[in-house]
């Protein structure tokens, strides 16, 4: 499995500097990495944590947001700690730091 170049997931980000946040326009995990039979775990978590790192690097206090599909709101809330704010869900501060620790610094 060394030197594989498969795309495991992707994320599209927008820097909304006047609101001090990173907006996640799109987050997608490859089909073979979804569901119970997935090949790799935590791809979405790693992508979200990466967006949080960018938000910290820009001095946005880790503030990231997205507009989720309705059926995924509970998933984002329960698995990644997102909170609801109008039409968006978001992460910031300690919750963003926790994702970075969990998905990017601990393996």
Q: Which of 97, 60, 90 is nearest to 73 (CA)?
A: 90
Residue 107: pLDDT over 80: no
**Residue 41: inside a domain, yes or no?**
yes
Over the range 40-53, which residues count as b (16 or more CB within 10 Å of their CB) and which as e?
eebbbbbbbbbbbb
CA distance 48 to 52: 6
Domain, as residue range, for 77: 9-105
Residue 97: pLDDT over 70: yes
Residue 106: pLDDT over 90: no
Tokens of 101: 């620790």
- pLDDT given for residue 4 in this prediction: 66
**Residue 1: inside a domain, yes or no?**
no
**Residue 54: inside a domain, yes or no?**
yes
Locus of tokens 């968006």: 88
**Residue 66: inside a domain, yes or no?**
yes
Domain with residue 40: its CATH number is 3.40.630
- pLDDT given for residue 47 in this prediction: 96
**Residue 59: inside a domain, yes or no?**
yes
- pLDDT given for residue 70 in this prediction: 81
pLDDT digits (tens, 9 = 90+) for 18-72: 999 999 999 999 888 888 888 888 999 999 999 999 999 999 999 999 998 888 8
**Residue 2: inside a domain, yes or no?**
no
Tokens of 14: 């927008």
**Residue 4: inside a domain, yes or no?**
no
Looking at every residue in the chain, the average pLDDT score rounds to 91
**Residue 32: inside a domain, yes or no?**
yes
| Total count of domains within the chain | 1
Contact between 91 and 99 under an 8 Å Cβ cutoff? The reply is yes
């Amino acid at each position: 499995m060394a030197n594989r170049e498969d795309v495991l997931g992707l994320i599209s980000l927008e820097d909304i500097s006047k609101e001090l946040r990173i907006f996640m326009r799109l987050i997608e995990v490859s089909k073979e990495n979804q569901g119970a039979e997935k090949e790799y775990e935590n791809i979405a978590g790693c992508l979200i944590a990466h967006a949080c790192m960018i938000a910290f690097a820009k001095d946005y206090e880790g503030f990231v947001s997205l507009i989720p599909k309705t059926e995924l709101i509970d998933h984002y809330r329960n698995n990644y700690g997102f909170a609801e704010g109008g039409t968006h869900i978001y992460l910031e501060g300690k919750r963003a730091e926790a994702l970075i620790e969990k998905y990017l610094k601990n393996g």
